[in-house]
Amino acid sequence: MKKQDINFPKLTKNEQTVLKKIIQQAKIPDLEIAKKMGLSQQAIFKIRHKLEQVGIIKGYSPIIDFKKIGIETLVVLGIKFTQHVWEKYTEDKVIEKIQKIPQVITAYRIPESNISHLLVLGFKNIDHKDRYLMKLQSKFAKEIEVIHVYPFSVDRIIKANHMGLLHTILDKTESSANNFF
């Protein structure tokens, strides 16, 4: 019998169905899933626990309405850390430092020559964003080169979830650019 790859666990139909339900509603009770699937609450608990144990589910995050908590401006920021940073810090230390920046909502390491990281940051308003970026450019000029700045209002967010992609993966269907328009 072939041993299952723990990095890419094969999910049963029931596990896929439970995962889809959790993706749609993270706080859905096991009892509700059990009733919809015709399984016991204990069976759903075991499936949820397995999905957590193998690392498919790493946590449960709320979907935040940025505007309602006072964040009106987002910025996609392309930066390049200078040689000074790479001589002083390891990759893991740079990641650790980025994770501690309160304004950073999402961060990506980009293996490009003109940028090293792509960050999405949140700000109260444009003035707050401007003050932050001016300070970044002056105080950390030796460490960070700001390459691209794309500010926009949170009112302009078109889509902020990955449910469609996860369904495509779980259903093993291939999406194409034909679906773009």
Query: For the whole model, what pTM was predicted?
Result: 0.75
- Which tens digits make up the pLDDT trace of 57-89? 998 888 888 999 999 999 999 999 999 999 999
Is 47 strand, coil or helix? Answer: helix
Give the other-Cβ count within 10 Å of 31's Cβ. Answer: 12
What pLDDT does 111 receive?
87
How far, in Å, CA of 19 to CA of 121, rounded?
Answer: 29
Rounded to the nearest integer, the mean pLDDT of the chain is 88
The topology (CATH level 3) of 13-61+161-179 is Arc Repressor Mutant, subunit A (1.10.10)
Rounded to the nearest 10°, the torsion over CA 81, 83, 87, 93 is 10
Element (H, E) at 88: helix 83-88
* CATH topology classification for 66-152: Alpha-Beta Plaits (3.30.70)
Question: What is the full DSSP assignment across 56-115?
Answer: S-----PPP-GGGGT--EEEEEEEEE-HHHHHH--HHHHHHHHHT-TTEEEEEE---SS-
pLDDT at 173 exceeding the cut of 90: no
Q: What is the pLDDT of residue 1?
A: 47
pLDDT(115) > 50: yes
Convert the pLDDT of each residue in 143-170 to its tens digit.
999 999 999 999 988 877 766 777 677 7
DSSP run (H or E) holding 105: strand 104-109
Using a pLDDT cut of 90, give the percent of the chain over it: 70
Inter-helix orientation angle 41-53/13-24, to 10°: 80
In this prediction, residues 15-39 reach a mean pLDDT of 93
Enumerate the domain spans of the chain. Answer: 13-61+161-179, 66-152
* pLDDT value, residue 174: 64
pLDDT classification of 177: cutoffs 50, 70, 90: low
